[in-house]
Structure 1
Amino acid sequence: MTTAPRTDKITRVAQIGTGYMGGGIAQSLALAGADVWLADADKESTQRNYERLLKEAALFESQGLFDAGSTDVLKERLHPADSIEDAVADVDFVEEAVFEDLQVKKDVLARVEKAAAPGTIIGTNTSTIPVKLLAEAFEDASLFLTVHFSNPAPFIPGVELVMGEATNPAVLPIIDDLLTRAGRKGAQVADVPGFVLNRLQYVLLKEAMTVVEEGVATPKDVDTIVSTTFGFRLPFFGPFAIADMAGLDVYAKGFKVLEDHFGERLSAPANLTELVAQGKFGAKTGSGFLDLDPDKLAELIDYRNKAYRKMAELLVELGPSPLAD
């Protein structure tokens, strides 16, 4: 069974789960022009979180983090509901952001489906649980998908979009339109545990912890290295673009050194060695993981250098974080 969405433009949203993560999503969508109905475990919790979101917005506004007038906008567009059923009864899109527990989420999603109007798109903000497991809660999962915002939701632009086997592809452009209006950028990924964001994030954290366990560096020094070297590049370029600019042949040789010491877990992946064997070294040859026009290489390097310089200036302007000495 495949159900069509009730609308091609989302203007009415229900946010189920209004804690730190869900509340930030609600703020973001309301400031993007949607009316957002809020529901939590009970009416009292919903009201408390609604009041907290307004206080938080006023603070953000005073700090220049939200535009002037944002708190008044949120007072108009955030609507605390008496129950989950009341919140979802007449909306275009429901976003669930309750505890990261499979059964809790399934119970809530089943309630949402029963109470929502036909054609309502239903999203989950799960950070690790596959759609195929949560879809078991539905009689009809064709309008269900993962719409995974990152913390803190009001300020992080990336959103993972994960469709299940039953998801109607027609929901994607509708969700993309909502995210674009909210200043967010969606990226579609496959339905596997952890998706992309947390799979990469957890691997980095695990290796960082191993480095500390081995006595290679302290947690503070690891954080310094990450934030001032490869992490410094990541606001502008992802790992494939960075590798292409550095040279895939260089990376292949580096992997060989790591493999000799750490074994197969740090050996070069096959997709890297295959490209190098074909003479595709990245930017300097015009192709690697990405297709890069050699004529634009100088332009790319100029942009890169300007971006890193601006980042350095921004860090000076902001001053050291409270974690600094």
Structure 2
Amino acid sequence: MAQRAVAVVGSGYMGGGIAQVLALGGARVALADVSQEVAEKNLERLLGEAEQFVADGLFPADAVQRLQENLWAAPSIEDAVADASYIAEAVPEVIDIKHGTLRRISSAARPDAVIGSNTSTILIATLAEAVDNPGRFLGVHFSNPAPFIPGVEVIPHAGTTPETVAAAKEIVELAGKQAAVVKDVTGFVLNRLQYALFHEAAQLVEEGIASADDVDTLVRTTFGFRLPFFGPFAIADMAGLDVYSFCYASLQTSFPERFATPKILQDLVAEGKLGTKSGGGFLQIPAERANELIAYRNKAYVAMTGLLKELGPSPVDEAAAQDGAATNAG
């Protein structure tokens, strides 16, 4: 079987990371940018990064060799995409730059080549306006840093074909990542959630309720501690949806609009579907597996505690501790 040919257009930090994981996954990856000189410079940077990642135990021992074999700098965008079955667009988040780049890609690429944009903010339908045969186009949004964050948003627009979605999911799997298919709406899913949290956190600091450091501490050490293992719906099911409903009612005494109870939660509680304790909820986890789930949860949290101790404090934690010591001394 011939080696899969892939192109990554935009060789900067995000595009370079995407190119790394696809090349490590076995694809032959052409790296393109505004010039071959820029692409070659970034290729050298990626190889140097890989050497350090190997030394740090973050990449496999043969990563540099595999990247040297599978990753190359193309003379132009047109040369990079000519034979590619999948093309990742990862140029800056400026609509005119993306439209111009996508026009060049779609005019030079094979008619059956799938094109995925790594945009994090721009509607896919808007970008699709610049693509010939837009049924082969969608969003494939990696997160920063691409080599190490496992989740990828796959975002079809209204005209994306099912075959294109399936091909994009294969690419995500090739990169060793996990795909979540979401609809084409402003912010998609990842950034709607991320910015909702940040917005509330910023308000808490602005209102003098807690410092930025204390907010970060609470997020890291409480509900954020659960998130590597369970998403918000699994956490809600385990806590009890009736408990969530009560907490919403309490929050509404001060914030009636901001914390209005979601209708989907109201409906489940009204039906007696209260989460794992009733055997029905958002995720339909059987009640007989509740003890098994709790045992996994406890084991996971203890393992996370051990990992954090092994890693030691982050530079952010050390800086906060030094600042606190200096404040107390003053």
* TM-score for the superposition, normalised by structure 2: 0.94
The equivalent position to 1:311 in structure 2, one of 283, 300, 304, is 304
Residue in 2 that maps onto 1:60: 53
* Residue 49 (str. 1) matches residue 47 (str. 2): no
Structure 1 residue 290: Cα displacement: 1.3
Q: Structure 2 CA distance, aligned partners of 1:194 and 1:103? A: 19
* Residue 230 (str. 1) matches residue 230 (str. 2): no
After superposition, the C-alpha distances for 1:226-250 in whole angstroms (9 at most, x for unaligned) are 0110000000000000000000111
Residue in 2 that maps onto 1:298: 291
Aligned length: 318
Corresponding residue SS for 1:148: strand
Unmatched 5+ residue regions in structure 2? 322-330
Q: Does structure 1 retain, via aligned residues, the 8 Å contact 2:107–2:132?
A: no
Residue in 2 that maps onto 1:3: none
The equivalent position to 1:149 in structure 2, one of 136, 142, 147, is 142
Q: Name the amino acid aligned to 2:171.
A: L
Residue in 1 that maps onto 2:212: 219
Structure 1 residue 10: Cα displacement: 7.9
* Residue 114 (str. 1) matches residue 107 (str. 2): yes
Q: Does structure 2 retain, via aligned residues, the 8 Å contact 1:10–1:178?
A: no
Structure 1 residue 177: Cα displacement: 2.2
Structure 1 residue 263: Cα displacement: 2.1
* Residue 210 (str. 1) matches residue 203 (str. 2): yes
Q: Does structure 2 retain, via aligned residues, the 8 Å contact 1:10–1:92?
A: no
The equivalent position to 2:116 in structure 1, one of 123, 134, 144, is 123
* Residue 247 (str. 1) matches residue 245 (str. 2): no
Structure 1 residue 182: Cα displacement: 2.1
Q: Name the amino acid aligned to 2:279.
A: G
Structure 1 residue 173: Cα displacement: 2.3
Unmatched 5+ residue regions in structure 1? 1-6
Residue in 1 that maps onto 2:76: 83
Residue in 1 that maps onto 2:327: none
Q: Name the amino acid aligned to 2:253.
A: D
Residue in 2 that maps onto 1:286: 279
Q: Structure 2 CA distance, aligned partners of 1:124 and 1:88? A: 14
Structure having greater relative contact order (Cα 8 Å, sep ≥ 6): 1
Structure 1 residue 170: Cα displacement: 0.7
After superposition, the C-alpha distances for 1:210-231 in whole angstroms (9 at most, x for unaligned) are 1100001111111100011000
Q: Structure 2 CA distance, aligned partners of 1:312 and 1:323? A: 18
Percent sequence identity is 54
Q: Name the amino acid aligned to 1:69.
A: D
Q: Name the amino acid aligned to 2:132.
A: E
Structure 1 residue 262: Cα displacement: 1.4
Corresponding residue SS for 1:123: strand
Q: Name the amino acid aligned to 1:136.
A: E
* TM-score for the superposition, normalised by structure 1: 0.96
After superposition, the C-alpha distances for 1:140-194 in whole angstroms (9 at most, x for unaligned) are 1010010110110000110000111211111222222222232111010001011
* Residue 191 (str. 1) matches residue 184 (str. 2): yes
Q: Does structure 1 retain, via aligned residues, the 8 Å contact 2:237–2:275?
A: yes
Corresponding residue SS for 2:138: strand
* Residue 182 (str. 1) matches residue 175 (str. 2): yes
> Considering only aligned residues, what root-mean-square deviation do their CA atoms show, in Å?
1.3
Residue in 2 that maps onto 1:96: 89
Q: Structure 2 CA distance, aligned partners of 1:247 and 1:50? A: 50
Q: Structure 2 CA distance, aligned partners of 1:139 and 1:124? A: 14
Q: Does structure 2 retain, via aligned residues, the 8 Å contact 1:160–1:188?
A: yes
* Residue 23 (str. 1) matches residue 16 (str. 2): yes
Q: Structure 2 CA distance, aligned partners of 1:92 and 1:216? A: 53
Q: Name the amino acid aligned to 1:27.
A: Q
* Residue 136 (str. 1) matches residue 157 (str. 2): no
Q: Does structure 1 retain, via aligned residues, the 8 Å contact 2:11–2:33?
A: yes
Q: Structure 2 CA distance, aligned partners of 1:286 and 1:101? A: 47
Q: Structure 2 CA distance, aligned partners of 1:282 and 1:110? A: 49
Q: Does structure 2 retain, via aligned residues, the 8 Å contact 1:10–1:174?
A: no
